[in-house]
Copies of this chain bind each other. A is one copy, B any other.
Amino acid sequence: MNGAESLVKTLLACGVDTCFANPGTSEMHFVAALDRIPGMRCVLGLFEGVVTGAADGYARMADKPAATLLHCGPGLANGLANLHNARRAQTPIVNIIGDQATYHRPLDAPLTADTEGWARPVSVWTRTATRAASVGADAAVAVQAARGAPGGVASLILPSDVCWDAGGQVAAPLPALPVPKVSPDAVQNAARVLRSGQPTLIVLAGSALREAALADAHRIAAATDARLITPMSNARVTRGRGRLAIDRIPYSGDAARAKLAGIRNVILVGAPAPVTFFAYPGQSPRPYPEDANIHVLARAEEDLAEALARLADELGARNAALPAAATQVPRETAKGAVTSEAVAQTLAALLPEQAVVVEESVSFGRAFYPGTVHAAPHDWLQLTGGAIGAGLPLATGAAIAAPDRRVVALQADGSGMYTLQSLWTMAREKLDVTIVLLANRKYAILLGELAGVGANPGKTALDMLDLGNPDLDWVKMANGMGVEAARADNMETFADLFAMANQRKGPFLIELVI
- Cβ-closest chain B residue relative to A457: B35
- Most-contacted residue by chain B among A21, A74, A276, A286 (CB, 10 A): A74
Give bound CA distance, A218 to B281, whole Å: 61
**Does any Cβ of B come within 8 Å of A461's Cβ?**
yes
**Does any Cβ of B come within 8 Å of A364's Cβ?**
no
**Does any Cβ of B come within 8 Å of A63's Cβ?**
no
Q: Which residues of B contact A73 (CB under 8 A)?
A: 84, 121
**Does any Cβ of B come within 8 Å of A110's Cβ?**
yes
**Does any Cβ of B come within 8 Å of A463's Cβ?**
yes
Give bound CA distance, A73 to B103, whole Å: 31
Closest Cβ of chain B: how far from A74's Cβ, in Å? 3
**Does any Cβ of B come within 8 Å of A151's Cβ?**
no
Complex interface residues of chain A between 428 and 448 (CB less than 8 A to chain B):
428, 445-446
Give the interface segment out of A171-179, A320-328, A330-338, A472-480.
A472-480
Closest Cβ of chain B: how far from A97's Cβ, in Å? 13
Asked if residues B482 and A470 are in contact (CB atoms below 8 Å), the reply is yes
Asked if residues B111 and A121 are in contact (CB atoms below 8 Å), the reply is no
Complex interface residues of chain A between 449 and 495 (CB less than 8 A to chain B):
449-450, 452-453, 455, 457-461, 463-467, 469-477, 479-482
Asked if residues A80 and B74 are in contact (CB atoms below 8 Å), the reply is yes
Q: Which residues of B contact A113 (CB under 8 A)?
A: 84, 121-122, 385
Asked if residues A31 and B450 are in contact (CB atoms below 8 Å), the reply is yes
A 284-305 to B, binary, CB cutoff 8 A, 1 in contact else 0: 0110000000000000000000
**Does any Cβ of B come within 8 Å of A100's Cβ?**
yes
**Does any Cβ of B come within 8 Å of A368's Cβ?**
no
Closest Cβ of chain B: how far from A449's Cβ, in Å? 5
**Does any Cβ of B come within 8 Å of A108's Cβ?**
yes
Give bound CA distance, A449 to B477, whole Å: 31
Closest Cβ of chain B: how far from A77's Cβ, in Å? 4
Complex interface residues of chain A between 108 and 122 (CB less than 8 A to chain B):
108-111, 113-114, 117-118, 120-122
Q: Among B35, B81, B108, B471, which residue has its beta carbon within 8 angstroms of that of A482?
A: B471
With A88-B110, A110-B386, A164-B281: A428-B470 Cβ-Cβ less than 8 Å: yes
Give bound CA distance, A446 to B26, whole Å: 10
Q: Which residues of B contact A461 (CB under 8 A)?
A: 31-32, 34-35
Q: Which residues of B contact A161 (CB under 8 A)?
A: 279, 281
**Does any Cβ of B come within 8 Å of A46's Cβ?**
yes
A 256-280 to B, binary, CB cutoff 8 A, 1 in contact else 0: 0000000000000000110111110
29 sampled A-B residue pairs with Cβ under 8 A = A24-B446, A31-B450, A32-B453, A34-B460, A35-B457, A36-B458, A42-B463, A44-B466, A47-B418, A75-B387, A108-B272, A109-B285, A110-B233, A110-B277, A111-B387, A113-B121, A113-B385, A117-B121, A160-B278, A417-B424, A424-B472, A428-B469, A470-B481, A472-B481, A473-B479, A473-B480, A476-B477, A476-B480, A477-B481
Chain A residues at the B interface, C-beta cutoff of 8 Å: 21, 23-26, 28-29, 31-32, 34-36, 40, 42, 44, 46-47, 49, 72-75, 77-78, 80-81, 84-85, 88, 100-101, 103-104, 107-111, 113-114, 117-118, 120-122, 160-161, 164, 233, 272-273, 275-279, 281, 285-286, 384-387, 389, 414, 417-418, 420-421, 424, 427-428, 445-446, 449-450, 452-453, 455, 457-461, 463-467, 469-477, 479-482
- Given A32-B450, A36-B455, A111-B278, 10 more A-B residue pairs with CB atoms under 8 Å apart are A25-B445, A28-B452, A46-B418, A46-B467, A74-B85, A78-B389, A101-B285, A110-B233, A473-B482, A476-B476
